[in-house]
Amino acid sequence: MTELKKMNNTELQKYHSSLSRSYEEMQAQKLKLDMSRGKPCTQQLDLSADLMNCLNKADYIAVNGADCRNYGGVDGIPDAKKLLAWFLEVRPEEVIIGGNSSLTMMYDLITKAMLHKIPGSETPWSKLPQVKFLCPSPGYDRHFAICENLGIEMITINYQADGPDMDEVEKLVATDSAIKGIWCVPKYSNPTGITYSDIVVKRLAAMYTKAPDFRIIWDNAYTVHHLTDSPDPLLNILEACRQAGNPDRVFEFCSTSKISFPGAGLAMLASSENNVNWLKRQISVQTIGPDKLNQLRHVRFFKDQAGIESHMRQHAAIIKPKFDLVLEILESKLGDKNLASWSKPQGGYFISLDTLPGCAQKIVAKAAAAGIILTPAGATFPYGKDPEDKNIRISPTFPPLSELQQAMELFTLCVELVSVEQELTKRGL
């Protein structure tokens, strides 16, 4: 039972008046803060400033002798594969390095599966009467946007503490051949912050799927983005699929967007050699080669795994205090009120907050009316529809600490105010 329910009508109305006054005072400050997207802040981008000048005019040859200024190398230079393959615990032969965006690579893969036969397909997906994807939610809005854009029907799957509800996933994929894939953000998930357990990874790798060309889209965007010194472990899914006799089931993705620059990093995918060879043939039609100079730049700048790990510790030193501040304010303002619950992630870019059912949209709107832009409520669910209207994604990384403090004070006030208003309406007051 919420604390609100214990209040009598007079107490509730008094509480509402006091919250409304505080809200009006905040509104008068005419704040203008954006907490809508998980972007690195300027200080984080500055960590990679030397990427801009770490190549000189004589430095353009990759280890295989390729001139990085020229055409060629659709799957990336070996130096870059070696630098990044450990992210996904894969062999360089299982890697394709792309342009700067892993989201582009995901969109591209699914478009290719729609238009051409992916290994195991009898028909390109677009020629089938229906294609469906499983969407563990709350999840990443841009995954869902890809499905919507390509006319793929989305089925919402609930998240549990250690990954998607696997009983539901197994039941659905075993009986419906139109289900061709599942979106997974397996580590420090966007937005819930959870990491998949070994059991979940093994079940995904081994489950029977009615579609022979079913694929797991394993978006490991936050694989090295730890906020503590004890990173969450994650089982190697490519290996698990191989062991389960489904070697081609998974395509893994990640990028350096939140390591170097979101606008000029490196994206990569990893999969079985069979899948990679198929994709290389497809990509060869589309391009004569990616930006290999940027690949070489990353190799020179980071050097090796240790270089990336120490760089990530510097990122954590900048953003951990922001996560801590958000969590402190949530605890101090809402901790004893039973109006919301929230994640306490060990890594990644988000805090996921659940309000009382039916409040999220109104809270986001109230915050916007006082100058704080949040991710739209519902965005973390397929079709932008949160069935309980309760999930809000908080992105602490971009604003400076002082702004974050103001934004969170206003946000928590909006949570209280909307919850009280809902209770007043229920009581007909």
Ligand X SMILES: Cc1ncc(COP(=O)(O)O)c(C=O)c1O
Question: Vertex 72, ends 71 and 73: CA angle to 5°?
Answer: 145
Question: At its nearest, how many Å lie between ligand X and the CB of residue 145?
Answer: 12
* Minimum CB distance to ligand X smaller for 258 or for 362: 258
Judged by CB, which is closer to ligand X: 66, or 96?
Answer: 96
Which residue is it, tokens 């916007």? 368
Residue 247 or 348: the one with the smaller Cβ distance to ligand X is: 348
Tell me if 134 sits within 8 A of 211, measured CB to CB. Answer: no
Residues lying near ligand X in the complex (CB under 6 A): 38, 101-103, 140, 185, 190, 219, 221, 255, 257, 262, 267
Note the helical H segments in 207-304. Answer: 237-243, 273-286, 292-302
CA separation, residue 261 to residues 44, 48, 100 (Å): 9, 7, 9
Dihedral sign, CA of 137, 141, 143, 145? positive
CB of 255 to ligand X, least distance (A): 3
Beta-carbon-side half-sphere exposure of residue 156 (alpha carbons within 13 Å): 16
Q: Which is nearer to ligand X, 40 or 247 (CB)?
A: 40
Q: What's the distance, CA 128 to chain centroid?
A: 29
Give me 138's structure tokens. 């709350």
- Tell me how far, at minimum, the Cβ of 383 lies from ligand X, in Å: 18
Minimum separation from the CB atom of position 83 to ligand X (A): 16
Cβ nearer to ligand X, comparing 125 with 183 = 183
- From the CB of 311, what's the least distance to ligand X, in Å? 17
Report the C-alpha gap between 251 and 106 in whole angstroms. 9
d(CA 227, CA 231): 8
Nearest distance from C-beta of residue 193 to ligand X, angstroms:
12
- The span from the CA of 373 to the CA of 355, in Å, is 17
What's the CA gap between 392 and 138, in Å, rounded?
9
User: Considering beta carbons, is residue 197 or 257 the nearer one to ligand X?
Assistant: 257
Query: Least separation, in Å, of the C-beta of 422 and ligand X?
Result: 31
The encoded tokens of residue 275 equal: 């899948």
Q: Which residue, 140 or 342, is less far from ligand X as judged by CB? A: 140
Which segments of 125-212 are extended strands (E)?
Answer: 132-137, 153-160, 163-164, 179-184
